[in-house]
Chains A and B, each alone.
Chain A
Amino acid sequence: MLEAVNVSLASLNVPTLVPMTIAVIGALSILTIDLVKEGLNKSLYVMIALLFLLLDLGAVMDAAGVFASNGTQLGFFDVMLIDGLAILAQLVIVIASMMFIPLALTSKRFHEFSYPEFFALFLFMIAGFQFMVATDNLILVFVGLETASLALYPMIALHNRNKSFEAAVKYFTMGALAAGLFSFGSMVFYALTGSVEIHQIAAALAADNYANIGYVLVATAFLFASFAFKLSLVPFHTWTPDVYEGSSAALAGYMSIVPKIAGFVVAMRLFEFLVNSGVVWLEVILYAMVVVTMTAANIWAIVQNDVKRMLAYSSVSHAGFVMAAVLIGTTQANTGLFLYWALFSFANLGAFTMLWVSRQKQLLPGQSSDHPFEKFSGMFKTSPIQATLMALFMLSLAGIPPFALFWGKIYLIGAAVSGGFTVLALIMALNSAIAGYYYLKLIVFMFMKEPEGEKNYLVNASTSLKTIVGMAAFATIFSFIVVSPLIEFIGGFVYNSGY
């Protein structure tokens, strides 16, 4: 006869689940409100989402305090893993989400924001990402990833344009493929080691000294491909520009930041032991992928005619740049990853919000996409402050000092230098030079060309959007003040998690 299962509540360590639960409760309460009373204004839902995210942030901070004093926490049958990486990633996820959700408060009415489901999906998605980063169990990673992705697909499609449907379907198909690859890779690891937890897989593989290296390679290849899809690393990036183009600028900006940080954290957990396992080819493949992603995406970005597509390719390139941190694998590099991504969030938030601010409901005559470069020609003459802000975000993305991303860039290149990756450091630097060209292109259009026809760059602006741009600009200009405390804060968390 089976013994009764006896689980004490204390052993579950429920507090590890609190942040994600708050997001889920938030989503459910939005759905409940909609059930009770229909047709409420979107601003209500934005504020509810914001409030729950604030609570979520508080819970993450609380977890950070616990981590700082007691170290890594396990919970829920050891499925949850709250370490420094989990906390840092959740901070980026929640804070970036808090910055992006007010973008729904545009002065024009857009289809997706009239549905409360949009905001519920948004919170479900955040919970998914939080689960994904707060575990080293491949099954929970999978569940988190799919929760988030399945919420994201309809959010894209809700934008209600032909291109949005195409984008959603494309993203869904690619996502499904990636999910298949992921589950297959995990399965092989399970077959090999009898575990789906990354640290146990690592221990089991090390114990038999990588005897079944062939199978390890197969599993790694599948997992790698699946993450490359999610992180849009070349050559698995092909969906990125189309999906970004089909989504609203606000969501595209969001996609370029939040899902990626979740992906990076899992990649970091996974590749940390694989790179250190001494399997040389893995490092070579990762190296090649990093270099190709940075370089090829930059070159594609140069030839784009639409600013949003350019930014899409540029974010692919940035992802490659940051993936270098996973390759280097030192504490400095891992710290650099979070630093870079935090700074990148602000610059990218600013850039995409500026696009969102200038978004008409209907395409203008003679315009084939929402944000062609020509749309911005002569912007400085008609809207000097907006043009200056946009230029500021472009300069920051290009890594011109003293703006935000420059500090991330030197810290990461510095990590490459001290990690012994001299050639990589040079390639990273030269890629910044290539990237300079297309960021400059927008500045050239805004400042050096003559305006054509009637232009209104503020068609969609509202106070909340302006506030966000202002905050992003402030963070971009004065980031040098917070870089040092950020490095110390992030470095402490990363180091204490053993990465």
Chain B
Amino acid sequence: MLDHILSILIFFPALAAVLGFIVHKDSMRAYGIVVSGVEFALSLWLWYAFDGSISGMQFMEQANLIPAFGISYLLGIDGISLFIIIMASFFTMLGIISLTETRRIKDLIITLLFLQMTMVGVFAALDAILFYVFWELSLVPMLLIIGIWGGPLRIYASVKFFLYTFAGSLVMLVGMLFMAYFYFQATGQWSFSLLEWYRLILPENIQYWLFAAFFMGFAIKVPMFPFHTWLPYAHGQAPTIGSVILAAVLLKMGTYAFIRFSLPLFPDASVFFMYPVAVLAIIMIIYTAMVAYAQKDIKQVVAYSSVSHMGVIILGTFALNVEGISGSVFLMIAHGIVSGALFLLVGVIYDRRHTKLMSEFGGLAQIMPKYATIFGIMMMASVGLPLTINFVGEFLSLLGFYKQSHMMTLLAGTAIIVGAIYMLAAYKKAFFGNVTKEENKTLKDINKTELMGLIPLTIIAIWLGVYPKPVLEPINNSVESVVQLMHDKAISAEAKEIIPSIAKFETTEAK
């Protein structure tokens, strides 16, 4: 069974979704919890069976899909994808447990299970077309989640989300076809296998163009400035579960793809574009942090802060060294946990008051002390307080980029201060002071079901903040092999110098 664990992880939720059509709607939530629970258990088993000391791909599966065109069903994971897969199944489970939606619950859970299939598929696929299939397919359930269960502007938001990402990924598809064509020119065979593409060394000018094509797809998904405009709408209109999955998992597809595709395939182009991308990332960090400060809606504060943190992930990725990339992968997990939790928390008060405007609240800490505590912890984690999960990721990401540019890192670091300002300001507005609104006085504190979703997240946020090793080590091993691959493939002397050789790194340490 372990031989096909990845296929099982991908298709089990899809199969369960199909069978879900038969389940009665009253039992649907229980069904969803059981299915996503089994899926989560399977993903934990994957972690258990995963050998953290190996840097290469594990649990590989291969079958010919369209051999005439070099497309195969190729799956495999390394330390980078492992934890994102676990996170995807974890958040689907938490999302279903803390689901408060009552409208068309059956449809919603079926859609979520389909979404889960596509998410696991993206992170497990090692064939570019297979990756693309899941990548595009994930748009459909998300479109429905925002479009059916969202707020008043849901149709606009869902269509905008779909079209933006669809357009970007089509450019990426052309890039993939070019990549396969260059592989065909070099070897006489069509192939979309990433592992085979890794062996291909492309001339620098070609790398630039392909990097740009892939960048379009990934940057819109992340979303990087200036392609981020779909995100506030999507978050603003999406139901709680939609925002949680979007922030925790879907956005990670973009940053993950940078590490899986852009860096190892185009090392010289990555070096060439390092500063431009970093500039965009820094604009993204600072600008969205400032925008977050100006928001009146608490969900939008979380949404913009989420974009801001994604900027740090990009910065870490484009540090092009082990610290930066490991930090950024760790931050992906951290960001997933923290922003996912924050969206769940916003959902809690939205369910009670049907508003997310901070001006409608005030003094919540007196009425809902448990809620305020958890919100406080998660907010501290989001700000990147030491001993919380975000700190580890942000520190490593910034440390990585510090080796490339002190000034730019300093600029990016200021965002952490701005982040603290807007988060504390938002917290102050909503939680401190006097209870001014009559209807807030009777609000019930967080209940058991909600706690079931939030407590594990809080524990993880602190546990991995204090002791990140079990996650960081497998990530580090895989990242080292990525960086080494980049170093080996780089053509220009500049790239060779900027991307460190791990072997060299180790030998100097040994001395």
A and B bind: yes
Q: Which A residues contact B (CB, under 8 angstroms)? A: 395, 400-402, 406-407, 410-411, 413-414, 417-418, 422, 425-426, 429-430, 432-433, 436-437, 440, 443-444, 447-448, 480, 483-485, 487-488, 491
CB atoms of A418 and B181 under 8 A apart: yes
A444 engages B147 (CB within 8 Å): yes
Query: How many B residues, CB 8 Å from partner?
Result: 34
Q: Tell me if B144 is interfacial: C-beta within 8 Å of chain A.
A: yes
Task: State the majority secondary structure of interface residues on B.
Answer: helix
Contact B133 A447 (CB under 8 A): no
B68 touches A425 (CB 8 A): no
For the complex, is B294 an interface residue (Cβ under 8 Å from A)? no
* Chain A residues, CB < 8 A from B154: 448
**Given contacts A480-B65, A483-B66, A487-B68, is CB(A433)–CB(B163) below 8 Å?**
yes
Given A402-B137, A448-B148, A448-B155, is A433 in contact with B167 using a C-beta cutoff of 8 Å?
Answer: yes
B105 in contact (CB, < 8 A): no
B64 at the interface (CB under 8 A from A): yes
10 A-B pairs whose Cβ atoms sit less than 8 Å apart in the complex: A400-B137, A402-B133, A407-B66, A410-B69, A418-B184, A426-B174, A436-B167, A440-B159, A484-B65, A485-B68
Contact call A487/B66, Cβ cutoff below 8 A: yes
Residue B470 lies at the interface, judged by CB distance under 8 Å to chain A: no
Interface pair B177/A413, CB less than 8 Å apart: yes
Q: How far is the CA of A488 from the CA of B67 in the complex (A)?
A: 10
Q: For B177, what are the chain A residues with a Cβ–Cβ distance below 8 Å?
A: 410, 413-414, 417, 425
Residue of B nearest to A436 (CB): B166
Indicate if the CB atoms of B137 and A401 lie closer than 8 Å. Answer: yes
Query: Closest approach, in angstroms, between the C-beta of B309 and any C-beta of chain A?
Result: 28
Given contacts A413-B174, A444-B147, 4 further A-B contacts (CB under 8 A): A400-B137, A406-B133, A429-B173, A436-B163
Kindly state the separation between the CA atoms of A422 and B66 in the bound complex, as whole angstroms. Answer: 24
Asked if B136 is an interface residue, CB under 8 A from chain A, the answer is yes
Query: Known interface pairs A426-B174, A433-B163, A448-B155. Does A414 touch B69 (Cβ–Cβ under 8 Å)?
Result: yes
A210 and B418 CA atoms in complex are apart in Å by 72
State whether the Cβ of B170 lies closer than 8 Å to any Cβ in chain A.
yes
Interface string of B413-452 (1 = CB under 8 A from A): 0000000000000000000000000000000000000000
Expressed in whole angstroms, the Cα–Cα distance for A433 and B163 within the complex equals: 7
Within 8 A of A (CB), among B114-161: 129, 132-133, 136-137, 139-140, 143-144, 147-148, 154-155, 158-159
B 251-285 binary contact with A (CB < 8 Å = 1; else 0): 00000000000000000000000000000000000
Closest to B150 in A: A448
Q: Assess A429 versus B170: contact at CB under 8 Å? Given A401-B137, A414-B181, A418-B181.
A: yes
- Where the two chains meet, the residues of B that have a C-beta atom closer than 8 Å to any C-beta of A are 64-69, 129, 132-133, 136-137, 139-140, 143-144, 147-148, 154-155, 158-159, 162-163, 166-167, 170-171, 173-174, 177-178, 180-181, 184
Assess whether B64 is in contact with A484, with CB atoms less than 8 Å apart.
Answer: yes
CB pair A484–B170 under 8 Å, yes or no, is no
Q: Which residues of A lie under 8 Å from residue B167 when comparing CB positions?
A: 430, 433, 436
Residues on B with beta carbons closer than 8 Å to the beta carbon of A448: 144, 147-148, 154-155, 158
CB distance from A397 to the nearest CB of B (A): 14
A486, chain B: closest CB distance, angstroms: 8
Which A residues lie within 8 Å of B148 (CB)? 447-448
Complex Cα distance, B159 from A436, in Å, reads 10
In whole angstroms, how far apart are the Cα atoms of A461 and B2 in the complex? 47
Q: Which residue of B lies closest to A490 (CB)?
A: B68
Which residues of chain B are near A414, meaning CB under 8 Å?
69, 177, 180-181
Within the complex, what minimum Cβ distance (angstroms) separates B110 from chain A? Answer: 10
In the assembled complex, the Cα of A436 lies from the Cα of B169 at a distance in Å of 12
How far is it, in angstroms, between the C-alpha of A448 and the C-alpha of B146 when the chains are bound?
Answer: 10
Q: Measured between alpha carbons, how far is A444 from B144 in the docked complex, in Å? A: 9
Give Cα A185 to B393, complex, Å: 70
Whether the pair A437, B181 counts as a contact (CB closer than 8 A) is no
Contact of B174 among A401, A425, A444, A483 (CB under 8 A): A425
Of A422, A430, A433, chain B has the most CB atoms within 10 Å of the CB of: A433
Residues B173 and A413 in contact, CB atoms below 8 Å apart: yes
Contact of A480 (CB < 8 Å), options: B66, B132, B181, B184: B66
Chain A residues near B68 (CB-CB < 8 A): 483-485, 487-488, 491
Contacting residues, chain A, for B181 (C-beta < 8 A) = 414, 417-418
Find out whether the CB atom of A447 lies under 8 angstroms from the CB atom of B170. no
Contact A401 B140 (CB under 8 A): no
Q: Which residues of A contact B136 (CB under 8 A)?
A: 400-401
B182 to chain A, nearest CB (A): 9
Contact of A447 among B69, B132, B144, B163 (CB under 8 A): B144
Instruction: Check A432 against B170 for contact (C-beta < 8 Å).
Output: yes
Closest 3 CB pairs of A and B: A433-B167, A401-B133, A487-B68
Our pick among A402, A418, A444 for the contact of B159 (Cβ within 8 Å) is A444
Separation of A417 and B183 alpha carbons in the complex (Å): 12
- Shortest Cβ gap from B111 to chain A (Å): 10
Residues of A within 8 A of B155 (CB): 444, 448
Once A417-B178, A448-B148 are accepted as A-B contacts, the answer to whether A401 and B171 lie under 8 Å apart by CB is no
* Chain A contacts for B67, CB-based, 8 A: 484
B228 nearest CB across to chain A (Å): 18
Contacts of A443 in B (CB 8 A): 143
The distance in angstroms between the C-alpha atoms of A10 and B97, with both chains bound, is 78
Closest A residue to B173 by CB, please name it.
A429
A97 to B304, CA, bound (A): 55
A417 touches B174 (CB 8 A): yes
| Choice from A418, A437, A480, A484 contacting B163 with Cβ under 8 Å | A437
The reply to whether A430 and B184 form a contact with Cβ atoms under 8 Å apart is: no
Cβ of B69 and Cβ of A429 under 8 Å apart? no
Partner of B171, one of A429, A436, A440: A429
Which chain B residue shows the least CB distance to A407? B66
For residue B412, give the distance in angstroms from its CB to the closest CB of chain A.
32
The closest CB in chain B to the CB of A420 belongs to: B181
Asked if B170 and A400 sit within 8 Å, CB to CB, the answer is no
Specify which chain B residues have a CB less than 8 angstroms from the CB of A480 in the assembled complex. 65-66
Please, which residues of chain A bring their CB within 8 A of the CB of B184?
Answer: 418
Beta-carbon contact of B140 and A395 below 8 Å: yes
CA distance A418 to B177 in the complex (A): 9
Q: A304 to nearest B CB, angstroms?
A: 16
With a CB–CB cut-off of 8 A, which chain A residues contact B64?
A: 484
- A485 to B129 alpha-carbon distance, docked (Å): 18
Cβ contact of A484, chosen from B66, B132, B147, B171, cutoff 8 A = B66
A429 CA to B137 CA, complexed, in Å: 17
A455 vs B148: C-alpha distance when bound (angstroms): 20
